[in-house]
Amino acid sequence: MADLKLRNVCKSYGPVDVIKDVSIDIADGEFVVFVGPSGCGKSTLLRMIAGLEDITSGTIEIGGRVMNDLPPKDRGIAMVFQTYAIFPHMTVRENVAFGLTINKADKATKEAKVAEAARILQMEHLLDRRPSQLSGGQRQRVAIGRAIVRDPSVFLFDEPLSNLDAALRMDMRMEIGKLHADLAASMIYVTHDQVEAMTLADKIVVLRAGEVMQVGSPMELYHNPANLFVAGFLGAPSMNLMPVEVKEVAGTEATVANASLDAISVATKERPIRTGGTATLGVRPQYLTPTAPEEGMLHGTVALTERLGSETVVDVALRDGSKVIAAIGEDRVLAPGTEIGLRFDPAQAHLFDEHP
């Protein structure tokens, strides 16, 4: 296994910059997830690490060795793609052993490594089947098994679960998490699904338009987003973002309000918030508590209620015409058209000097 370092990595296609001065440290054995919307450059960055894309400038190091000019086969990496990329005319055993066969490994080595991969992925009973006899999740296990037998320094996963249905995605997500725990391997995982990012990662790298927006642990990014983009991207349902007027700034606190929000004091967190200006207040749906209209800090009318059993998601139309979502950890009936107040702890709110 090995650590990985990206230093000022850039990628351009002619005049178009798709990766912009990215620097990231990935420790040995760490599970890192690149997350962001479609087109943000996360798969391109992964392919650059793998050697499938040239870099325009910067350096990529694996285990202290610069990889810029090395071909993929010499980088000590194994990649699992979105498409399974397994051979339909081969058995599972032959597919898993394919890389070893190409490298002319002896029969005993191949058998031992294939058996170990099959044990780890619990697919010993599938070894003599062909891909046409497998489910989508089983085919993805074969692709992962082919990566395991190479004993790579770094595993790379490029949206490996996006072709699976919801139930299979959950199962395979757990399998990949268990695989990381069993192998203690360095893994980089690309996804646009922030739930996958939050549940799998030791460290999340949030990308937007080829730039790193924030790097940190899942809970660090959830509780302390660096900017408006990270705040709105991580979390389900998304963070509520409301325009507010800044009434007063005193030290590290700002008093804000709008037509639907009573005046409250919120920490500025060293952001350049100015008295008399405008800002954006962020509150996660899970922190909003319904109450009587006169007792609330936010005031509006119930527009829609989604009862999910263990949780009720309430869309609230505010007095100023905007909307917020409250996620209540219980089964409640709130009829559309009902006037409602919403309370929250200002310490759990975020104030940004940006605007959506």
Over the chain (356 residues), the average pLDDT of each successive run of 10 is 91 94 95 94 95 95 93 90 85 90 86 90 90 88 89 90 79 86 90 90 96 96 94 91 95 94 94 93 95 93 90 92 91 89 95 90
pTM score: 0.89
Classify burial at 131, counting beta carbons within 10 Å of its beta carbon; exposed 0-12, middle 13-18, buried 19 or more: middle
What is the torsional sign of CA 234, 240, 243, 247? negative
Contact predicate 279/353, CB 8 Å: yes
What is the model's pLDDT at position 1?
A: 63
How far is 354 from 356, CA to CA, in rounded Å?
7
Distance CA 205, CA 138 (A): 29
**Is the sign of the CA dihedral 55, 61, 62, 66 positive or negative?**
positive
> What pLDDT score does 246 carry?
96
Give the span between the Cα atoms of 56 and 80, in whole angstroms: 24
